[in-house]
Amino acid sequence: MQRRDFLQAFGSAAALAPLVVAGLLSPTRALAVSFNRAAFEARTAADALRLIGAAGAETSRDIQLKAPEVAENGAAVPIEVASSIPGTTRLSILIDRNPLPLALQFNFAAEATARFQAKLRMAESSRLRVVATAGGKHYTVFREVKVTVGGCGD
C-alpha cells in the first residue's frame, strides 16, 4: 500500500483519535466524546460509517432493532433500538438509501440504558442499520424496511 492510500484510508480515524483519547482519559465524563457533524453531511452509508469510525463494525446479536417490515408512511417510521453489549456508550442509526444516511446518534452515560425509541423519515425502501459503540469498538445489526410512501420529498 502506498503512503498516500494509507493516509486516505486512515485519515478520518486519525482525526477522531484525539477525541477518543480524551474520552478514555476522563472516564467520569462519559459524554465528553463529541460528535463528528461531517458524518451527517455524508451522502452514502459507506462514507457516513467511515466518518463515525465504524467502517469495520462487526455484526452482533446483542443489538435489538425493532422496525416495521413494511412502513406505510415513510415520514414517521417508528423504531426501537437497544444494545445489551456491556459498556455501550453510543448508538448510531443509518438509513442507507436516504439522501443523508446518518439519521442520529446518542451518547449514553452510566445512568442511562443504551435503549431508545424514535420516529424517522425514510425516503424509500432501505436498509436500516444500528451501530453500537462499546469500549471503543463498533458493532452493528441491520434490517430491510419496505416503504410504501416515501417521507423525504413532497
Partner 1 sequence: MSEPIKIRATVKGTEGEVRVLMPHPMESGQRRDPAGQALPAHFITSITLSLNGRPVIEGALGTAVSTNPLFAFQLQGIKAGDKVSIAWLDNKGQKGNAEAAFAAG
Q: Which CB atom, from 8 or from 26, has the smaller least distance to partner 1?
A: 26
Write down the least CB distance from residue 109 to partner 1, Å.
4
What distance in Å separates the CA atoms of residue 48 and residue 147, rounded to the nearest whole number?
22
Q: Which CB atom, from 26 or from 117, has the smaller least distance to partner 1?
A: 117
Specify the residue for cell string 484510508: 9
What distance in Å separates the CA atoms of residue 145 and residue 69, rounded to the nearest whole number?
5
Write down the least CB distance from residue 51 to partner 1, Å.
12
The footprint of partner 1 (CB under 8 A) covers 31, 35, 37, 40, 75-77, 93, 95, 98-100, 102-109, 111-113, 115-123, 151-154
Consecutive H or E run containing 12: helix 3-25
Write down the least CB distance from residue 34 to partner 1, Å.
9
Closest by CA position to 22, among listed 134, 104, 136? 136
Q: Which CB atom, from 78 or from 135, has the smaller least distance to partner 1?
A: 78
Q: Which CB atom, from 96 or from 137, has the smaller least distance to partner 1?
A: 96
Q: Which CB atom, from 67 or from 95, has the smaller least distance to partner 1?
A: 95
What distance in Å separates the CA atoms of residue 57 and residue 137, rounded to the nearest whole number?
7
Write down the least CB distance from residue 79 to partner 1, Å.
11
What distance in Å separates the CA atoms of residue 149 and residue 154, rounded to the nearest whole number?
11
Write down the least CB distance from residue 85 to partner 1, Å.
16
**Cβ neighbour number for residue 9 with a 10 Å cutoff:** 12
Residue 44 C-alpha cell reads as 452514502
